[in-house]
Amino acid sequence: MHPAESPDEKQKRVRTVISRLRKAYPDAHCSLKYSNPLQLLAATILSAQCTDERVNQVTETLFRKYRTAEDFANADPAELEQDIHSTGFFRNKAKSLRGMGRKLVEAHGGEVPRTMEELLTLPGVARKTANVVLGNAFGKAPGVVVDTHVTRLSARLGFSTAPTAEKIERDLMEIVPKKNYVMFPHWMIFHGRAVCKARSPQCSSCVVADVCPSRETV
């Protein structure tokens, strides 16, 4: 994938991809439904190994029942597990939600913190979740969200073939303009769902096919 491509050439290609995806998906946004930072934090924890569509179905009821950090902290484990059962890995996720609630109450007055360092101390929160919350709830961009779509498209586009989300994020942060950190994953995710699918990428209708090194091999 572009073996002789210089950093400047890769940055130029990223800007081309961003420009085209922005035009192709003008309404790109966070697919998780939320009305405050706590809801987005909980929804993102639930989204692990689960579709956003399924999470939204669950949280429609869940957020009427659990409205505050205290509600999550004091939730009955078995009841919470049942409430989120269909998102998968429900025991671990329930444990994370309860732990997250307790930590917010004990250390942050029940409010969701606004720094990467503080968010990473919460149970169930790694960099992806923290980036989602900071970027979408607070408009802060310390990094780039890396999910399965971003991972797949970054590899196909030759932006990063790193083996971990953390390393992919570092690669992307070196070439994606900081002003695009929040929106870049949304454009990639929308494109991944609509065109650059895992099993059957639709290269013939792809707006970035001419700058994609994988267009003839995927």
128 is an active site residue: yes
Which residue in 95, 147, 197, 210 is the catalytic one?
Answer: 147
Which one is catalytic: 10, 93, 103, 128?
128
Q: CA 214, CA 202: separation in Å to the nearest integer?
A: 12
Instruction: From 202, 144, 214, select the one nearest 24 (Cα to Cα).
Output: 202
- Pair 171, 154: CB distance under 8 Å: yes
Q: Tell me if residue 147 is catalytic.
A: yes
- Tell me if residue 197 falls in helix, strand or coil: coil
* Angle at the Cα of 44 from the Cα atoms of 39 and 45, rounded to 5 degrees: 100
| Measured distance CA(9)–CA(4) in Å, rounded | 10
Please list the active-site residues.
Answer: 128, 147
